[in-house]
Chains A and B, each alone.
Chain A
Amino acid sequence: MTPQTPQEPVLVIEDLAVQYRTPTGVVDAVRTVSLRIERGEKVAIVGESGSGKSTTAHAVVQLLAPAARIARGSIRFGGIDLVHASRGELRAIRGRRIGLVPQDPTVSLNPVTRIGTQVAEVLVIHGLADRRTAAAAAVEALRRAGLPDPELHARQFPHELSGGMRQRVLIAIAIIAGPELIIADEPTSALDVTIQRQILDHIDELAAETGTSVLLITHDLGIAADRADRIIVMNQGVIVEEGTPAEVLGAPKHPYTQALIRAAPSLNALGDVERVLDRLPKETRVRVFGGRAGDPFTVRDRSKGPLATDPSGATDESPARTVLVAENLVKDFALPHGGGVAHAVANVSFAVPRGQTFALVGESGSGKTTTARLALRLDDVTSGRVLFDGRDVTDARGRELRDLRRRIQVVHQNPYASLNPRLSIRAIISDPLVAYGLGDRTERRTRAAELVDVVALPSSVLDRRPAELSGGQRQRVAIARALALNPELLVLDEPVSALDVSIQAQILGLLASLQDSLGLSYLFISHDLAVVRQIAHRVGVMRLGELVEVGDVGTVFADPQHEYTRALLDAIPGAGAPVVQPG
């Protein structure tokens, strides 16, 4: 290692530009990026997908995708220009002096090698230890990375560990050789919020202990605000803003940063954010959603009163104030190899109030999605009852089930997978209408065009295929499809979890204004408490198949009763960030 004066920065990137070759031409992933990381400093690069933040990080370790090329610039690390360094020089630096914590712990470990061997490998490669001492060092590194029982887990294979544990293994690999710089590329985006917090805390502690510099890549401004000494905001391949968390969040100068802060749900989780609702014009409401629930082409009987549009009137229309009631739902799955049963959902009861949003929130494996599937009747309950509009639909089959589906529609979490790739957007949106044989060809075409307009897409998308649309646009299409039958209840299964924060904000805004205009009821599934805070009226917190707390959103967030709810709330990143609400 070359001796260095403490003043000298660990990493200096000057005027970096990286290009990707794509089938349609060259894309400038990174245009002009210059940054420096001082010794012991924690720098966070924040940006949305395609902002160039990960590309910048991968350029530092020279592990870019084959299609990428560094067009310009220099990356100086401890006196070596990494852009022009030889393979041998790079090998001596990777793992030894720069540790990389990759994004997805589920795929980043070799599945056929024991944990201990993978961790020790770094030392063996760099000749820092022989096999025996390396094994002992690996156990010690696992312990420092916060893995309980490191001796036991070092002998295990990756599939025997949970996601959070695997992420700790990756951190152990990154720190074992005592690097000067740790690059953490979205180290926790695949993890639950409570685990995320532990992992980030741990990286912080380790960095503080050893004086290691950290370059943290994240899409979450809240995480950056909590963890970094300095925040760099990237957009479209350039740095738009740079400063301490207080500077960037407290007084953002660039319009993009301001927009990002406004959109970030985590930063606004505990503030009182009032969404500006674009209510649909009354004329559109009557024309597009004037039909009966489940049959949009039948105009509602006048004698039955006005449309269920204003929230106060909504309850008059039906005697039931709740659209959907779940009573003591239980869902068991048989374990393989005759290992008994697992309770995916254990004794869950809740009610979705008419015209409002009931959110089920929980971490992965909490049973929230299974509960939603039970309510949708996509799965059968083991025991318990589902009541829709006061009617028991637990055992609905055939015709009754199809009638039910007219009134409950679903929006799936991954818009990249939920639209049939072979059909045009028009065909996708009118698919439910065709399924029930509603309207003729012309009526269905008109309705598809109207629905596209309602979800604020240009009518030119109608003839396109899903692949030609972006994720946000596809989710709007999925919402339009769900609205096609005039349903009363929408089940929203993590509808924004596959989207960037600014698109998330748009979709949540659309959902809120649709609810406000049409009196729709939502069953909203999410792992993100911050998102729930913004959209829901009532919330149920699930943990390991059980509903641990139910209540009004304001009450639950202000005064959580259950220990687990408190842990979840505490783990929301950026809660204490110094945000000034712009505008």
Chain B
Amino acid sequence: MTDTTALAAESARASTGRGTAHDDTFATTSADRFADAAASREAGSIVEEPSAPTAADGRTGRVRRLLATGVQHPGTVLAAVWIVLVLVSTVAPGLFTSQDPLVGVPAEKLTGPSPAHWLGTDQLGRDLYTRVVFGSALTLQAALIAVGIGLAVGSVLGLLAGFVGRWVDDVVMRIADVLLAIPSLLLSLALITVLGFGTVNVAIAVGLGSVATVSRIMRSEVIRVRNAVYIEAAFASGNRWSRVLFRHVLPNSAGPVLVLAALEFGTAILAVSALSFLGYGAQPPAPEWGSLIATGRNFLTTAWWLTTLPGVVIALTVLSANALSRALDSEGRRVR
């Protein structure tokens, strides 16, 4: 065969759009093979069997790596500690304070932060610190319910859209488009007007507001994983589609969605607080972060601590959730 005839055949192939997609795996996997060679060189052996680490090795290795990561990223550790403290306060507020959030001492009303009242007192002489500690239960419950709803509904929709494709994908994604086009707080407000006031309704409204984002991320991950060779291998092994979906696709696509969940947790706290601030959530005298700020607003000129300090607590919690989300993300990237 001459030079030109071969090239002509090749260009014919290129023009059909098939020849350009090269199936040369040797070139595309060169980085993998290089990593293999480096690993076997490190193991000090010429043969391709690196020494076998046992399961126990793996576990202590993981703990050691976690500790090393902690030393490298002290901010992440602080964030984790903060979130843990906040979560503990939701189930056992008595551990943090011995006072009653609903009973005030009128003589001590509107006093600034002091050793006796760390965050000061409100207009009825109730200890603000105690009210913040007890308030975390309602706020965080609502946030967790919201994230749970968003994650569950969003994941299922995203999974179906990505895995089934075709018209299911179209329908789900167009609905998601519509939801994303509406500002999320406005959407939550609209939902609350339908559902009625109350913490749980606020949670449902916020949760439904995040469904679109979660389903988007889930769908894109499922589409990425779905085209992986090991999924085709799973089908070729004889797996039913349901087993392929739950055993092979879901675990490999859940990572970024969990990262998003941590992020959404922070956002949900903010949204729940905002809705309570507007008066749609917990009703007085029940303590709740958003409503604490709302009440404090009336005393903004005289008692700055009533708005500022609960606000700082909310800000710290949201920032911590974001920091954790980022740490999860970089860890996930390393594994992927």
Contact = CB atoms under 8 A, between A and B. Distances in A.
A481 B14 contact: no
A471 B236 contact: no
Interface in A1-36: 20, 22, 24-25, 27-29
Given A195-B10, A470-B39, A364 B27 contact: no
A131 B187 CA distance: 59
Nearest to B228: A417
B52 A464 contact: yes
Contacts of B26: 189-190, 219, 497-498
A39 B248 CA distance: 57
Interface in A522-544: 527, 544
A410 B48 contact: no
Interface in B53-70: 53-55
B301 interface: no
A194 to B, nearest CB: 6
B237 A481 contact: yes
Contact of A472 (B10, B30, B48, B235): B48
Given A50-B38, A412-B233, A422-B252, A473 B48 contact: yes
B239 interface: yes
Interface stretch (A112-120, A380-388, A429-437, A444-452): A429-437
A478 B247 CA distance: 18
Interface stretch (B16-24, B90-98, B134-142): B16-24
Interface string A182-215: 0000100111001100100000000000000000
B194 interface: no
B48 A378 contact: no
Given A28-B41, A194-B1, A458 B235 contact: no
A270 interface: no
A413 to B, nearest CB: 5
A39 B10 CA distance: 35
A410 B233 contact: yes
A344 interface: yes
A342 interface: yes
B241 to A, nearest CB: 11
A163 B20 CA distance: 7
B38 A461 contact: no
A436 B50 contact: no
A164 B10 contact: yes
A412 B23 CA distance: 12
A484 B14 CA distance: 40
Contacts of A468: 50, 53
B238 A432 contact: yes
B174 interface: no
Interface in B26-59: 26-30, 32-34, 36-42, 46, 48-50, 52-55
Nearest to A432: B237
A460 interface: yes
A173 interface: no
A283 interface: no
Contacts of B3: 146, 148, 198
B193 interface: no
Nearest to B236: A410
Contacts of B19: 162-163, 364-365
A470 B39 CA distance: 9
Given A190-B22, A336-B17, A470 B40 contact: yes
Interface string B315-336: 0000000000000000000001
B237 A435 contact: yes
B229 A418 contact: yes
A104 B235 CA distance: 32
Contacts of A24: 42
A335 B13 CA distance: 13
A494 B25 contact: yes
Contacts of A364: 19, 22-24
Interface string A273-304: 00000000000000000000000000000000
A243 interface: no
B236 to A, nearest CB: 4
Contacts of A471: 29, 32-33, 36
A378 B52 CA distance: 36
Given A165-B7, A342-B17, A405-B236, A419 B23 contact: no
Contacts of B230: 417-421
A246 B48 CA distance: 30
A195 B29 contact: no
B33 A500 contact: yes
A162 B30 contact: no
B18 A365 contact: yes
Contacts of B53: 464, 468
B139 to A, nearest CB: 35
Given A27-B42, A49-B33, A460 B23 contact: no
A310 interface: no
A503 interface: yes
A458 B45 CA distance: 16
Contact of B37 (A50, A365, A413, A461): A50
Nearest to B232: A378
Contact of A106 (B22, B48, B50, B229): B22
B237 A194 contact: no
A515 interface: no
A378 B236 CA distance: 8
A394 B17 CA distance: 27
B234 interface: yes
A148 B4 contact: yes
Contact of A406 (B11, B37, B48, B238): B238
Nearest to B27: A190
Contacts of A163: 10, 19-20, 22
A417 B32 CA distance: 10
A412 B237 CA distance: 12
B73 interface: no
A461 B52 contact: yes
B251 interface: yes
Contacts of A557: none
Interface in A387-426: 402, 405-406, 409-410, 412-414, 416-422
B166 interface: no
Contacts of A106: 20, 22
A194 B5 CA distance: 11
Contacts of B18: 333, 342, 344, 365
A159 interface: yes
B32 A335 contact: no
Nearest to B8: A148
Contacts of B251: 422
Contacts of A463: 54-55
Interface string B209-252: 00000000000000000001110111111111001000110011
Contacts of A435: 234, 237-240, 243
Contacts of B54: 460, 463
Contacts of A436: 238
Among B27, B42, B53, B55, max chain A CB count under 10 A is at B27
12 contacts: A29-B38, A49-B30, A50-B33, A146-B3, A236-B46, A365-B19, A369-B23, A405-B237, A418-B229, A435-B237, A435-B238, A471-B33
Given A162-B14, A236-B41, A499-B33, 6 more contacts: A27-B41, A103-B27, A344-B18, A378-B236, A405-B236, A419-B233
Interface of A: 20, 22, 24-25, 27-29, 48-51, 103-104, 106, 146, 148, 159-165, 186, 189-191, 194-195, 198, 219, 236-237, 333, 335-336, 342, 344, 364-365, 369, 376, 378, 402, 405-406, 409-410, 412-414, 416-422, 431-432, 434-436, 458, 460-461, 463-464, 468, 470-473, 478, 481, 484-485, 494, 497-500, 503, 527, 544, 563-564, 567
Closest 7 CB pairs of A and B: A50-B37, A460-B52, A49-B33, A432-B237, A162-B14, A405-B238, A417-B229
Interface of B: 1, 3-4, 6-7, 9-14, 16-20, 22-30, 32-34, 36-42, 46, 48-50, 52-55, 228-230, 232-240, 243, 247-248, 251-252, 336
